[in-house]
Amino acid sequence: MAHIVRIRIEGLLGRSEPIELDLDRSVNVFFGENGCGKTTLLKILQSALSRDGESMLGLPVDRAEVDIFSITDQRVIPHVWDRKSARNQRELPLELINSLRESDLSPIERARYLSLRSSAPDWKIPARKNKEPQPRSWSHVFLPTTRLYNTDSSRRTPEQRSSTDDRLNEAFAEAVNKRWLLYYTQVLKEVRTIQEEGLRAVLYHSLSLTSGLPTGATLNPEQAYQRVKKFLARQSAQDASLLGSTEVFAGRYATDEALRRVVDNINNVESRIEASMAPIHKFTSTIDSLFSRNKKLRTTDNGLAVELEDGKLITPAHLSSGEKHLLVVLLQAMTADHNSVIIDEPELSMHIDWQHALAETIYRLNPNCQLILASHSPEIMANVPDEKIFRI
């Protein structure tokens, strides 16, 4: 886990003066007219976090210093890339670098590619004090303007465009669901662990009255009844009927110390599960509040679905362009943990109201991430403090 604390760029688009910025841990916005270098700055940050020196060759920059704070090491690690170090080396055209794929090459071609690739100047970083190797890259999220589609369909016939759009929409839905299921599976794994630990605790405290737990109940009878009912309902809808009436349960709860101990453990399990599921509930409720015409985000066995006003379900592929962008941005940000989230023109296809609330919404969903935006929109910056906005 890591975030960026400082950047210094020399020769950006031929500028005579370097750009030097101290970035905020929470929100940063690069603002400026078209062609000022905002997107290039984001690509530099992406390159440093990915440790991809080759991608720097096609960027109009002479030297880049990117200081990255490693949360694991609890220290700032400087990353330096300098074009002068490659002055006597062959520089590959970016198009060639992007087109070559090792898996498609013969052994002879592979050797030639590796030889060419080694000529690219890499990011230089200091070795760790404990002699352990640095990570090959830092976890982060990078969302370019092509985050949804990267195909020019303007020259195709309507039939071809429709076919292409269908495939793109399917690919979009597949990518969203893959990202969601990866995160959701991790949450469910955590929930299962909590349940297993809770079951062991319930069994232990049922068998031992010398467990050290307080003999007094931590919940009143009504709270205890609802807690146990919710716990049983999660296991099976039929299990909840075992409780009987509230009055019968309250009578047992008042006189049965063992039951109170069990309920205390169940309460602990439910509280931990609620904490684990809270980001998911916050994410879906946030999407619901922003979508129009009462659309609701739903989870299914296959991923995410959208419920319409009439109750029918559609896939994310059938959302509008703005809704797709919103879904991708918020999903990626929510799952970014403590790392950097870099977004180029987050306002794409979004209604002005969404733009106005976007930075605040992202940070509310994941207050641990570092948000770095490049934008033309004054609305994106509306709720961002001036000291976190950088004119490029």
Summarised one tens digit per residue, pLDDT across range 39-65 is: 999 999 999 999 998 889 889 999 999
pTM confidence score: 0.79
> What is the CATH architecture of 1-139+341-349+370-392?
3-Layer(aba) Sandwich (3.40)
pLDDT at position 171: 85
Q: Is residue 280 predicted with pLDDT exceeding 50?
A: yes
pLDDT at position 153: 39
Confidence of residue 295 (pLDDT cuts 50, 70, 90): very high
| pLDDT average, residue stretch 286-296 | 93
| pLDDT average, residue stretch 149-164 | 48
pLDDT: which is higher, 136 or 66: 66
pLDDT at position 45: 97
pLDDT tens digits for 218-230?
A: 788 889 888 888 8
pLDDT tens digits for 299-333?
A: 877 899 999 999 999 999 999 999 999 999 999 99
pLDDT at position 142: 94
Burial 319-353 (b: 16+ CB within 10 A, else e): beebbbbbbbbbbbbbbbeebbbbbbbbbbebeee
Give the CA radius of gyration of the chain.
Answer: 27
Q: Is residue 121 predicted with pLDDT exceeding 50?
A: yes
Residue 345 CA from chain centroid, whole number = 17
Confidence of residue 186 (pLDDT cuts 50, 70, 90): very high
| pLDDT average, residue stretch 129-145 | 83
| pLDDT average, residue stretch 68-80 | 92
Q: Is residue 38 predicted with pLDDT exceeding 50?
A: yes
Confidence of residue 347 (pLDDT cuts 50, 70, 90): very high
Tokens of 375: 């934008």
Q: Is residue 240 predicted with pLDDT exceeding 80?
A: no
SS3 for the chain, per residue?
CEEEEEEEEECHHHCCCCEEEECCCCEEEEECCCCCCHHHHHHHHHHHHHCCCHHHHHCCCCEEEEEEEECCCCEEEEEEEEHHHHCCCCCCCHHHHHHCCHHHCCHHHHHHHHHHHCCCCCCECCCCCCCCCCCCCCCEEEECCCCCCCCCCCCCCHHHHHHHHHHHHHHHHHHHHHHHHHHHHHHHHHHHHHHHHHHHHHHHHHHCCCCCCCCCCCCCHHHHHHHHHHHHHHHCCCHHHHHCCHHHHHHHHHHCHHHHHHHHHHHHHHHHHHHHHHHHHHHHHHHHHHCCCCCEEEEECCEEEEECCCCCEECHHHCCHHHHHHHHHHHHHHCCCCCEEEEECCCCCCCHHHHHHHHHHHHHHCCCCEEEEEECCCCCCCCCCHHHEEEC
**Tokens 């603002």 belong to residue:** 31
Ranking 1-10, 98-107, 234-243, 305-314 by mean pLDDT, the lowest is 98-107
Contact 362, 2 (CB under 8 A): no
Report the alpha-carbon distance of residue 40 to residue 45 in Å, rounded.
9
For the chain, the average pLDDT equals: 83
Q: Is residue 187 predicted with pLDDT exceeding 70?
A: yes
Residue spans per domain, the chain: 1-139+341-349+370-392, 187-281
For residue 136, how many other CB atoms are within 10 A of its CB? 7
Terminal C-alpha separation, the chain: 27
| pLDDT average, residue stretch 247-271 | 86
pLDDT at position 155: 44
pLDDT at position 258: 80
Confidence of residue 111 (pLDDT cuts 50, 70, 90): low
Confidence of residue 162 (pLDDT cuts 50, 70, 90): low
Strand order across the 2-10 sheet? 19-22, 2-10, 63-70, 75-82
Q: Which of 98, 20, 105, 30 is nearest to 59 (CA)?
A: 98
pLDDT at position 391: 93
Question: How crowded is the C-beta side of 224, counted as CA atoms within 13 Å?
Answer: 25
